[in-house]
């Protein structure tokens, strides 16, 4: 591969992100300075109330800032930013991501090596859980699907825990350990990934129905699988994730409701691909009955409508 990184557009969705995103943008400034328009950074702000868009536009004048008038949710906010992207490759980064060296070149290199890959991800090390969060697969249980770790998760979590508490050059050490090994097939995680912009647009990107967040990335993964494309982790690249900082602050306990609603949306949309799921509609009806007795009325309605095929919820 060439020494220089291929052209890349990085979309960072923000919402009330002052005090959280500046470190990431300062780091990305180095890439923008080195590669110029070959590394454009787009901040897509979801109608923040703390002046995020104006402050970032003033503090980082090299940014492209897209300012939303209403709160659209994560997926729609990413799409608003991606609509302004001009380069061949597209990346998304959460505001609570810390880069470990330059992960982008390795991710793009693997996309170029393996044309059946839709997206590549670095190892995403969850600082709160002290483990890699994106080496996962889905399994089916009681009418829904859930994430579980791949066997490789323990190895790479242990490696990063050790490297991040040492004085080692983490990026260089990962290159030494991972070498030129093949990427590890996994489920897409929107916190940090790179894909070909043309394919992202071909699939329609993130579905705004997954409002305000959760499962839009898994939905995109499974839309890609319909074309025979997969997503994978490249272990010689890594980032650190201070998981759910904004979500916890803004949405608190409601995030569990959003997770469960969008989990059901995903299963309903991709039931034909989830061959291990048996009797899903019966399970959804049973869940609607359970929610009717002191549960969540929104979930009760959603399970009921899904069980009887009454459209979206």
Mean local confidence (pLDDT), 56-80: 96
Establish if 270 belongs to a structural domain: no
Same domain, 18 and 164: yes
Same domain, 179 and 295: no
The tokens describing 243, both together, are 């998981």
pLDDT of 247 over the 60 cut = no
Same domain, 247 and 189: yes
Last residue in a domain, options 251, 267, 298: 251
pTM for the structure as a whole: 0.94
Establish if 201 belongs to a structural domain: yes
Residue in the structure block whose two tokens are 């990962």? 174
Same domain, 135 and 80: yes
Same domain, 298 and 236: no
The mean pLDDT value of the chain amounts to 94
Alpha helices in 83-195 (DSSP H): 104-113, 152-164, 170-178
Same domain, 219 and 163: yes
Nearest Cα to Cα of residue 38 among 61, 10, 14: 10
Last residue in a domain, options 251, 266, 293: 251
| Pairwise CA distance, residues 184 & 136, whole Å | 10
The parent domain of residue 178 ranges over 8-251
Give the confidence band of 250 by pLDDT, cuts at 50, 70, 90.
low
Cα-Cα-Cα-Cα dihedral sign, residues 228, 231, 233, 234? positive
Q: Which residue has the higher pLDDT, 246 or 6?
A: 6
74: domain CATH number? 3.90.550.10
pLDDT of 270 over the 80 cut = yes
Going from the C-alpha of 78 to that of each of 99, 143, 152, 190, 215, the distances in angstroms are: 19, 30, 30, 10, 14
Cα-Cα-Cα-Cα dihedral sign, residues 263, 267, 273, 277? positive
Same domain, 143 and 290: no
Establish if 263 belongs to a structural domain: no
| Pairwise CA distance, residues 307 & 286, whole Å | 9
Mean local confidence (pLDDT), 112-140: 97
pLDDT of residue 194: 98
Last residue in a domain, options 251, 270, 294: 251
Same domain, 39 and 137: yes
Same domain, 88 and 206: yes
In contact, 110 and 117? CB cutoff 8 Å: yes
pLDDT of 74 over the 60 cut = yes
In contact, 16 and 250? CB cutoff 8 Å: yes
Give residues with Cβ within 8 angstroms of 305, minimum separation 6. 311, 312, 313
Establish if 64 belongs to a structural domain: yes
pLDDT of 136 over the 70 cut = yes
Same domain, 114 and 166: yes
In sequence order, what E strands does the chain have?
8-14, 39-45, 64-67, 89-93, 97-100, 117-126, 131-132, 136-141, 144-149, 184-186, 192-196, 230-241
Give the confidence band of 139 by pLDDT, cuts at 50, 70, 90.
very high
pLDDT of 2 over the 70 cut = no
Establish if 143 belongs to a structural domain: yes
Establish if 268 belongs to a structural domain: no
pLDDT of 100 over the 70 cut = yes
Kindly state the percentage of the chain with pLDDT values over 70: 96
In contact, 169 and 119? CB cutoff 8 Å: no
Establish if 257 belongs to a structural domain: no
Q: Which 3 state secondary structure label does DSSP give 143?
A: coil
Mean local confidence (pLDDT), 224-240: 98
The tokens describing 149, both together, are 């770790």
| Pairwise CA distance, residues 201 & 82, whole Å | 9
Same domain, 238 and 294: no
Given the DSSP bridges, would you call strands 184-186 and 8-14 parallel, antiparallel or unpaired? unpaired
pLDDT of 178 over the 70 cut = yes
Domain count, the chain: 2
Same domain, 162 and 301: no
Establish if 198 belongs to a structural domain: yes
pLDDT of 1 over the 50 cut = no
Residue in the structure block whose two tokens are 């916890």? 248
């Amino acid at each position: 591969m060439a020494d220089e990184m291929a052209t890349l557009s990085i979309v960072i969705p923000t919402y009330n992100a002052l005090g959280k995103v500046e470190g990431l943008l300062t780091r990305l400034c180095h890439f923008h300075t080195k590669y110029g328009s070959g590394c454009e950074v787009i901040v897509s702000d979801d109608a923040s109330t703390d002046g995020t868009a104006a402050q970032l536009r003033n503090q980082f004048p090299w940014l492209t800032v897209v300012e939303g008038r209403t709160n659209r949710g994560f997926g729609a906010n990413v799409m608003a930013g991606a609509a302004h992207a001009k380069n061949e490759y597209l990346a998304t980064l959460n505001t609570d991501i810390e880069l470990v060296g330059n992960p982008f070149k390795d991710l793009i290199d693997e996309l170029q090596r393996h044309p059946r890959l839709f997206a590549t991800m670095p190892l995403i090390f969850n600082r709160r859980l002290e483990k890699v969060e994106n080496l996962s697969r889905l399994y089916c249980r009681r009418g829904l699907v859930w994430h579980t770790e791949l066997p490789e998760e323990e190895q790479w979590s242990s490696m990063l825990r050790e490297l991040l508490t040492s004085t080692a050059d983490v990026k260089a050490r990962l290159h030494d350990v991972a070498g030129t090994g093949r990427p590890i097939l996994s489920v897409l995680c929107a916190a940090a990934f790179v894909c070909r912009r043309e394919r992202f647009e071909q699939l329609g990107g993130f579905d705004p129905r997954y409002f305000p967040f959760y499962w839009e990335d898994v939905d995109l993964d499974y839309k890609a699988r319909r074309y025979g494309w997969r997503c994978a982790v490249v272990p010689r690249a890594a980032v650190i994730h201070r998981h759910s900082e904004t979500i916890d602050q803004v949405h608190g306990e409601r995030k569990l409701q959003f997770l469960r609603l969008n989990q059901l949306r995903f299963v309903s949309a991709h039931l034909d691909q989830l061959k291990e799921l048996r009797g899903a509609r019966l399970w959804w009806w049973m869940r609607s009955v359970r929610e009717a007795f002191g549960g969540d009325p929104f979930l009760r309605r959603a399970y009921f409508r899904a069980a009887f095929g009454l459209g979206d919820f």
